[in-house]
């Protein structure tokens, strides 16, 4: 005769018969063993509910234009996030919060023209970043310094403007050549006279004018006054000398 152990026995039987629900998979996606595949689903935003055990999230070939603040739920084990071939033009500075374990991020073939360093601060473990084929004309120093574990960076296919604004990227490339497989092929697009000129072919002397300390307003005013005074003094001197020559001739 079995021994009845009360409610605990019933609870154990219920757990065996009805196991706890697993993380839900978005209707537009396919989920299998931590891989969440949402490619080519005509999505205009990141699905609001994603499995918390996701290790790979594929969102390529959709119509996502903006990553808003906290676009992703907390995904503590997400290692790979792929967003190529969307219409992405803006990433909010808090869009990637909750993705601290991320190691690979693909943002290639989008419309990104500017990047905020704050956007990448949550990605302390990121090792690979693909920014190829966007609309980047420059890349601020803070963007790359926010990624201390970065080992591989792809920058091909961007319209780089080789002016003083390219200096932070040029400096970073100089110290991290081994992290950019295509660094020898990165070329200027503007200005026209430097079109197809390799960015890494520049030397430190090329940026000497960019590194000069600009004059303060007070010093600029002083030099302006000195110049004006010198100009007036030269006119007076020339007039006086002409007057003396005329008197001497007479």
| 166-222 pLDDT per residue, tens | 999 999 999 999 999 988 789 999 988 888 899 988 888 888 888 655 544 444 344
Q: With respect to residue 50, please indicate whether it lies within any of the assigned structural domains.
A: yes
H or E element, residue 119: helix 117-120
CATH number for the domain including 180?
3.80.10.10
Residue 21, pLDDT score: 46
Q: With respect to residue 24, please indicate whether it lies within any of the assigned structural domains.
A: no
| Structural domain harbouring 43 | 30-213
Burial environment of residue 166 by CB neighbours within 10 A (0 to 12, 13 to 18, 19 or more): buried
Residue 208, pLDDT score: 82
Q: With respect to residue 23, please indicate whether it lies within any of the assigned structural domains.
A: no
Domain count, the chain: 1
With cut-offs at 50, 70 and 90, classify the pLDDT of residue 247: confident
User: Is it the case that residue 61 has pLDDT exceeding 60?
Assistant: yes
Conformational region of residue 115, where left means phi above 0, alpha means psi within -120 to 50, and beta covers everything else: beta
Q: With respect to residue 100, please indicate whether it lies within any of the assigned structural domains.
A: yes
Cis peptide before 191 (omega within 30 of 0): yes
Q: With respect to residue 236, please indicate whether it lies within any of the assigned structural domains.
A: no
Q: pLDDT tens digits, residue range 103-140?
A: 999 999 999 999 999 999 999 999 999 999 999 999 98
Q: With respect to residue 228, please indicate whether it lies within any of the assigned structural domains.
A: no
Burial environment of residue 234 by CB neighbours within 10 A (0 to 12, 13 to 18, 19 or more): exposed
Q: With respect to residue 218, please indicate whether it lies within any of the assigned structural domains.
A: no
Q: With respect to residue 138, please indicate whether it lies within any of the assigned structural domains.
A: yes
């Amino acid at each position: 005769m079995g021994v009845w152990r009360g409610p605990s026995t019933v609870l154990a039987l219920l757990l065996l018969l009805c196991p706890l629900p697993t993380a839900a998979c978005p209707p537009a996606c396919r989920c299998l063993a931590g891989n969440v595949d949402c490619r080519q689903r005509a999505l205009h935003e990141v699905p609001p509910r994603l499995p918390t055990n996701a290790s790979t999230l594929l969102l390529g070939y959709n119509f996502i234009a903006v990553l808003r603040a906290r676009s992703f739920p907390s995904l503590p084990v997400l290692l790979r996030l792929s967003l190529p071939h969307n219409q992405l033009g803006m990433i909010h500075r808090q869009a990637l919060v909750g993705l601290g374990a991320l190691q690979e991020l693909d943002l290639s073939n989008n419309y990104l023209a500017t990047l905020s360093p704050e956007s990448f601060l949550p990605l302390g473990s990121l090792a690979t970043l693909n920014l190829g084929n966007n609309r980047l004309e420059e890349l601020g120093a803070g963007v790359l310094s926010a990624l201390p574990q970065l080992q591989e960076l792809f920058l091909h296919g961007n319209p780089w403007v080789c002016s003083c604004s390219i200096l932070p990227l040029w400096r970073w490339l100089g110290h991290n050549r081994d992290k950019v497989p295509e660094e020898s092929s990165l070329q200027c697009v503007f200005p026209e006279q430097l079109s197809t000129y390799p960015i890494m072919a520049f030397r430190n002397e090329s940026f000497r004018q960019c590194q000069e300390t600009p004059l303060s307003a007070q010093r600029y005013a002083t030099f302006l006054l000195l110049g004006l005074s010198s100009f007036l003094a030269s006119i007076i001197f020339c007039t006086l000398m002409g007057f003396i020559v005329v008197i001497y001739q007479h």
